[in-house]
Structure 1
Amino acid sequence: MKHARRLLLASLLALSACEDSSPDPTPLPDAGAAADAGVPPGTPPGEPVPDAGTPTTNVPRFEHYIRRQPYPRMVLEVDGWGGYTPTASVADKLTKGLLGILDKESVEVRVDQAFPGKGKDHAWTNQELLALAEETGTLEVPVGTIKLHVLLVDGHSAMDTDQGRVLGLAFPWTHLVLFRQTMDTLCNKGSPLNPCAKAELGVWAHEVGHQLGLVSNGLAMSTPHKDETHGAHDASDTCIMYWAYEGSSGLADLIGLFGDAPNLGFDAACLADLDAVKNRP
Structure 2
Amino acid sequence: MNLKCAAVLICLLIFATSACNDDDTAQPNTSTLQPVGASSHDFLSDENYESLNIEIQYMTGYEPSSAVLNSLESFLSTILNKPAGIVFIKNEIVAEGKTTYSAADIRALEQIKRTQYTSNKNIAAYFIFLDGGYSEDSSSSKVLGIAYQNSSMAIFQKTIESLSGGIGQPSTNLLSSTVTQHEFGHILGLVNNGTDMVAQHQDVPHGKHCDDADCLMYWTVENSNNLADLLGMSSPPSLDTNCLADLKANGGK
TM-score, normalised by the number of residues in structure 2: 0.80
Match of 2:62 in 1: 84
**Which letter maps to 2:73?**
T
Query: Hey, what's the Cα distance between the residues in 2 that align with 1:268 and 1:178?
Result: 26
1:238 aligns with 2:214: yes
Q: Does 1:117 align with 2:114?
A: no
**Equivalents in 2 of 1:102, 1:255: separation in Å?**
29
CA contact (8 A) 1:222 1:269 kept: yes
8 Å CA contact 1:202–1:254 kept in 2: the answer is: no
Quote the offset at 1:250 in angstroms. Answer: 1.5
CA distance in 1, matches of 2:117, 2:221: 34
CA distance in 2, matches of 1:134, 1:156: 20
Deviation at 1:172, TM superposition (A): 1.8
Q: Is the Cα–Cα contact under 8 Å of residues 134 and 156 in structure 2 kept in the other structure?
A: yes
Secondary structure of the 1:114 match is strand
Most deviating of 205-214 and 167-176:
167-176
Q: Which runs of 5+ in 1 are unaligned?
A: 1-34, 40-44, 47-54
Q: Cα–Cα, structure 1 residues 205 and 188, in superposed 2: closer, same or farther, change >3 Å?
A: same
Q: Give 1:181's aligned amino acid.
A: K
Shift of 1:142: 6.3
Give the CA deviation at 1:229: 1.4
How far off is 1:279 after superposition? 6.1
Is residue 2:197 matched to residue 1:221? Answer: yes
2:48 aligned partner = 70
For the pair 1:273 / 2:246, whether they are aligned, the reply is yes
Shift of 1:255: 5.2
What do the CA deviations read for 1:118-177 (whole angstroms, capped 9, x no partner)?
Answer: 33x522122111111122112367631100111011122222221111211111212100
Structure 2: how far apart are the matches of 1:64 and 1:132?
25
Name structure 2 gaps, 5 residues minimum.
Answer: 1-28
Cα offsets for 1:75-131 (capped at 9, x unmatched): 1101111232221011111101101111112122220x3222233x52212211111
Distance in 2, Cα, partners of 1:279 & 1:78: 23
1:96 alignment partner, one of 57, 68, 74: 74
Aligned identity (percent) is 28
Local SS of the residue matching 2:228: helix
**Distance verdict in 2 for CA 1:129–1:143, change over 3 Å:** same
Letter paired with 2:88: V
Q: 1:260 is matched with which residue: 210, 235, 244?
A: 235
The structure number with the bigger radius of gyration is 2
* 2:176 is the counterpart of 1:203: no
Q: 1:273 to 1:256 in 2, by over 3 A?
A: farther
1:31-56 CA distance string (max 9 Å, x none): xxxx665x7xxxxx36xxxxxxxx5x
Counterpart residue identity of residue 160, structure 1:
D
Report the Cα distance in structure 1 between the residues aligned to 2:134 and 2:109, rounded to whole angstroms.
14
1:230 CA drift (Å): 1.0
Identify if the C-alpha distance between structure 1 residues 59 and 151 changes in structure 2 by more than 3 Å, giving closer, same or farther.
Answer: closer
SS at match of 2:56: strand
Q: Compute the displacement of 1:251 (Å).
A: 1.6
Q: Is the 8 A contact 2:79 2:252 kept in 1?
A: no
Equivalenced residue count is: 224
Q: Which range moves more in the overlay, 130-139 or 214-223?
A: 130-139
Question: Over the residues paired in the alignment, what is the CA RMSD in angstroms?
Answer: 2.5
Tell me the TM-score normalized by structure 1.
0.72
Aligned residue in 2 for 1:251: 227
Partners of 2:135 and 2:50 in 1: CA distance: 37
- For residues 155 and 266 of structure 1, the distance between their equivalents in structure 2, rounded to whole angstroms, comes to 28
| Secondary structure at the counterpart of residue 86 of structure 1 | coil
Amino acid at match of 1:117: A
Query: Retained in 2: the 8 A contact 1:198–1:255?
Result: no
Supply the distance in 1 between the matched residues of 2:80 and 2:166 (Cα, whole angstroms): 31
1:162 aligns to 2:135 (yes or no): no
